[in-house]
Amino acid sequence: MTISTPDDFTQRWRQPPNFHLEVAFDYTFLPAVDVLDRVRRDEEVRFTILGDDDWQVRMDRTATFRTAPIVEIVTWPFRLVHFNLGRFYDDLLGGFQEQVMIPWRTHLSARGFAWQRLTPILFLSTAGASSTYHNDNSHGLVWQVDGTKTFHSYLDPDKHLSADAAVVGETTSEDPPEHAEADRQSITMEPGDHLWSHALTPHWVTTQSPLAMSVTLSHGGLCHQGHFSERELALRGYWDKNPAEAWAHDLRNVRY
């Protein structure tokens, strides 16, 4: 299913399953390999070297990931994330705030939405790489920029993980648990595709292309005219009982 109008989005944003979303962002990224070459050197980047090579190979690659030739780096299996893209607004992502973030916030606000945090997150990975199996505490607008990834979740998340279990992080592991293929929702994303990923729903992402890049706009505390999504109500209830933990794990439970 593809959501193409603001009214449809307003009706569907609160409850799973995930869905394709038509969004016309007027922004052109630099090629993924150029973004990788810049971001990998930043002190806040997080990455994991993957693959079946022995432990020493992975350790050596981890140690040289920031400095090895980029033509060599792109042949290694890895996953990378950067949560603080504001560090690059003056150069690598020049214009992103003005052309993407401000128009999207304005659009949501005009439709009656409010939020406590709305921030972009960058993901880069190579063929065969997979994210951990996890859930996010925030709704995500996933924007596939370069390459091909498949976003895996469930048609009925409650059948596999209750909202209460998601809140306390019972999801996070390297691989998804055994499940019937018919229960899975797998959406392949090509450049320019957008996906709405619901808060606190378990998912994992696999990479099919040699190099893939996506940006997720993460919406913390999103509500519409004062109403939160069904699963986020469980998170809010947990924070009411445990106020010292509120927003302590705001972005995600994913491990890198």
pLDDT computed for residue 227 by the predictor? 95
For residue 256, the model assigns a pLDDT of 35
- pTM of the complete model: 0.93
CA distance 211 to 112: 37
Question: So what's the pLDDT on residue 252?
Answer: 41
Predicted pLDDT of residue 46: 97
User: pLDDT in tens for each of the 256 residues of the chain?
Assistant: 789 899 999 999 999 999 999 999 999 999 999 999 999 999 999 999 999 778 999 999 999 999 999 999 999 999 999 999 999 999 999 999 999 999 999 999 999 999 999 999 999 999 999 999 999 999 999 999 999 999 999 999 999 989 999 988 777 788 899 999 999 999 999 999 999 999 999 999 999 999 999 999 999 999 999 999 989 999 999 988 988 876 555 544 433 3
Report d(CA 20, CA 27) in Å as an integer. 19
Q: How far apart are CA 54 and CA 48, in angstroms?
A: 14
pLDDT at res. 249: 52
Where do the H-state alpha helices sit in 77-222?
Answer: 96, 102-110, 163-167
Residues ≥6 apart with Cβ < 8 Å to 62: 47, 49
β-strand 19-21 against 2-3: which pairing, if any?
parallel
Pick from 76, 198, 56: nearest CA to 138: 198
pLDDT on residue 253: 40
| Length of the chain counted residue by residue | 256
